[in-house]
Amino acid sequence: MLEKMSLSSPFCIFSFLLIIFTLALISETIQAQNGRLLPKEEKNALKEIAKQLGKKDWNFDMNPCDDNTTWTTPKRSNSQYYNNVTCNCSTPDGFCHVESLFIRGQDLEGVLPASLAKLTYLKTIDLNRNYLSGTIPPEWASTNLEIMAISNNRLSGAVPEYIGNITSLVKLSLEANLFNGSLPAEIGKLVNLQMLNLIANDFTGVWPVELNNLSKLTELRVSSNNFVGKLPNFESWKNLQMVEIQGSGFEGPIPQSISVLTSLNELRISDLTGGASEFPPLRNMTGMTKLVLRSCNIHGKIPGFVAVLSKLRFLDLSFNKLEGGIANLRKLTKLEAMYLTGNAFVGAIPVWLTSQDTEYGIDLSYNKFDQRSEPSNYRENLNLFRSFKGGNSVDNGKCLSAEPCSEEKYSLHINCGGERVVIGNTSYEADEESAGAAKFVSWRENWGSSSTGHFWDRNNISLNDYKADNLSAIKGDGSPLYMTARLSPLSLTYFARCLANGNYTLTLHFAEIVYRDNRSFQSLGRRVFDVYIQDRLKLKDFDIESVAGGVDKALKEKFNVTVQDKTVEVRFQYAGKGTTSIPSRGSYGPLVSAISLEAINLKPPSALETSFNQKKEDSNCSSDFVISSHSDDSLCCLEEKKKQ
């Protein structure tokens, strides 16, 4: 009896437990279906992830898979802030599982969360636009991620070999971080990869041939790095639709294998080192909408097939060695901008270029057309600055202006992008005209500017893009000069003419007023550009913030300039380097705050004339008034202006 009892008792307890356990399981499953429950392990993993990221606003009293405000925040318009967790609740085990984490634009200061590996159903991790540091954790090697987007952070070090273990990856974006070293060959194991974005890091070394095996790639972006050696071979990337290789360090020429990329609709290659090459074979890329081959050392003529790439919207062939006449591209009716700047085109400027009634910008500056004089009645948005040898040889054939000089100047001061400003005894002239994609401003007698290019990938293009305004808090005597600045997406020239020949000091005033100095992704921008003075490269890969030691800090770069033909020219050029996505997509390119030019040991003939010069500088006469060297005319001009 006793024995029976002792035998049946554990059995009873066991049955009882079994019933309770079954009931609990049923109730949990029901709850999961109604309340979309996560397994405990995933909830705990989220807690660890929050800690590792430095994310403090998830409310763990709530169910992450419910649409609570802390777990899924409605998209704010015009904001870079994204915040949502998505779950898959239609799984066989009856639980919900975390499928994606979008935690973007939140300036989180932590690290890439190792505990991500505990979310075994996770497919998407999007941590763009935070302030995360550190490296890619080894734990991630065991995930089944399809999308890894960790752009615009402070991540550093080498890309680990174990990234090749995440063979499920379809999109990998590492843009605008501090990753360095050579790319691991193991990236070649990511056979499902369709998108690879390595823009604006510090990758070095040669391109691993193993990556040529990524045959599903549709999008490849590797701009602004320091690779060495030849451009990759394009042979097995037949699915590529978008290629961006600007300022990446690679040597030309563009390989013939590029001809197989018949699905391309966007090709942007710039700033190749290495020898000269022919125009690449792009004949069969009839879907091409955006073509940039800038500073690629391409010589010869523009081939005829360009004229039948009928979907082209943007064509940038600037700063090559293209020669001959320009092919007739009139049939490219979808064009929105065309830059043929900085080549060696000759012959007459074709009539189809000057007479079109379309509005789009055409930039022909810096060429060698045989034109004797400016074409008459040419269209708006056509920039002919230094595009032909002026017949009457004003300014030594540079065709800066058709006007002869009324007098010689000994100084020039410009407040770039801003209004007239007086600092001490020096008046900085206003420079407020709107710039543009192909714009030549030359109404002043003694100086002007030429602006080429538009900002790629901006959502919202406006003429204000070419100026930076006073978000800045610069202190000190010259501060008003730094409140505004000119920006350029490609090339910006200031020229001075009518100068007395001799030696001058040229001062370029800079201050980084776009990036901020805070613990935010907005402080992570890197602006890098080149400066040419009198056609010579004087500042290469110039970075205002790093030279000045911070943002909002005035920086003056001084140069000795010898003037021999009465002219001085300063040109700012974007050479594909630096970030392009901070603070927002399409932010990059040269910035200049002010320009000063002062003669050294060179004095105007008489003080009287100086005061006259001053008066005229202040008058801001438009070219509608013919100015002679008679001071009365200048006064007359002032009066005319008042009357308006």
Interacting residues toward ligand NAG by CB under 6 A: 59, 62, 68-70, 72, 78, 82, 84, 86, 88, 90-91, 102, 138, 141-142, 156-157, 162, 165, 180-181, 188, 209-210, 213, 259, 281, 283-284, 424-425, 460, 462, 464, 470-471, 483, 502-503, 558-560, 562, 601
Q: Using the minimum distance from each CB to ligand NAG, give the nearer residue, 556 or 641.
A: 556
Instruction: Tell me which DSSP letter residue 324 carries.
Output: E
State residue 508 phi and psi, 5-degree precision. -100, 125
Residues ≥6 apart with Cβ < 8 Å to 516: 471, 522, 523, 551, 583
- Kind of pairing, strands 133-134 and 154-157? parallel
Using an 8 Å Cβ cutoff, are 363 and 437 in contact? yes
- Least distance to ligand NAG, CB of residue 202, Å: 7
Q: Using the minimum distance from each CB to ligand NAG, give the nearer residue, 261 or 498.
A: 261
With CA atoms as reference, report the closest residue to 72 among 80, 87, 83.
83
Using an 8 Å Cβ cutoff, are 63 and 69 in contact? no
- Kind of pairing, strands 344-345 and 321-324? parallel
- Kind of pairing, strands 529-533 and 568-573? antiparallel
Q: Could you give the 3-state DSSP secondary structure of residue 229? A: coil
- Least distance to ligand NAG, CB of residue 89, Å: 8
Q: Using the minimum distance from each CB to ligand NAG, give the nearer residue, 78 or 606.
A: 78
- Least distance to ligand NAG, CB of residue 455, Å: 12
Q: Using the minimum distance from each CB to ligand NAG, give the nearer residue, 82 or 378.
A: 82
Q: Using the minimum distance from each CB to ligand NAG, give the nearer residue, 557 or 640.
A: 557
Using an 8 Å Cβ cutoff, are 274 and 251 in contact? yes
- Least distance to ligand NAG, CB of residue 360, Å: 20
Task: Please name the residue ranges forming H helices in 601-630.
Answer: 607-619
- Least distance to ligand NAG, CB of residue 49, Å: 17
Q: How far apart are CA 335 and CA 333, in angstroms?
A: 6
- Least distance to ligand NAG, CB of residue 609, Å: 16
User: 396 burial class (0-12, 13-18, 19+ CB within 10 angstroms)?
Assistant: middle
- Least distance to ligand NAG, CB of residue 73, Å: 8
Q: Using the minimum distance from each CB to ligand NAG, give the nearer residue, 335 or 513.
A: 513
Instruction: Tell me which DSSP letter residue 38 carries.
Output: P
Q: Using the minimum distance from each CB to ligand NAG, give the nearer residue, 399 or 594.
A: 594
Task: Give me 84's structure tokens.
Answer: 């949502």
Q: Using the minimum distance from each CB to ligand NAG, give the nearer residue, 584 or 631.
A: 584
Positive or negative CA dihedral for 28, 31, 33, 39?
negative
- Least distance to ligand NAG, CB of residue 613, Å: 15
Q: Using the minimum distance from each CB to ligand NAG, give the nearer residue, 279 or 388.
A: 279
- Least distance to ligand NAG, CB of residue 83, Å: 8
Q: Using the minimum distance from each CB to ligand NAG, give the nearer residue, 8 or 464.
A: 464
Using an 8 Å Cβ cutoff, are 165 and 191 in contact? no
- Least distance to ligand NAG, CB of residue 4, Å: 49
Q: Using the minimum distance from each CB to ligand NAG, give the nearer residue, 346 or 430.
A: 430
Q: How far apart are CA 420 and CA 455, in angstroms?
A: 27
Degrees, nearest 5: CA angle 150-541-231: 65
Q: Using the minimum distance from each CB to ligand NAG, give the nearer residue, 68 or 534.
A: 68
- CA atoms within a 13 Å half-sphere pointing along the CA-CB vector of 627: 27
Instruction: Tell me which DSSP letter residue 73 carries.
Output: P
- Least distance to ligand NAG, CB of residue 156, Å: 4
With CA atoms as reference, report the closest residue to 450 among 491, 417, 499, 489.
491
Using an 8 Å Cβ cutoff, are 241 and 217 in contact? no
- Least distance to ligand NAG, CB of residue 559, Å: 6
Task: Please name the residue ranges forming H helices in 67-130.
Answer: none
Task: Give me 28's structure tokens.
Answer: 């949990």
Q: Using the minimum distance from each CB to ligand NAG, give the nearer residue, 331 or 558.
A: 558
Considering only the C-alpha atoms of the chain, give the largest distance between any 2 of them, rounded to a whole number of Å.
134
- Kind of pairing, strands 344-345 and 242-246? unpaired
- Least distance to ligand NAG, CB of residue 280, Å: 9
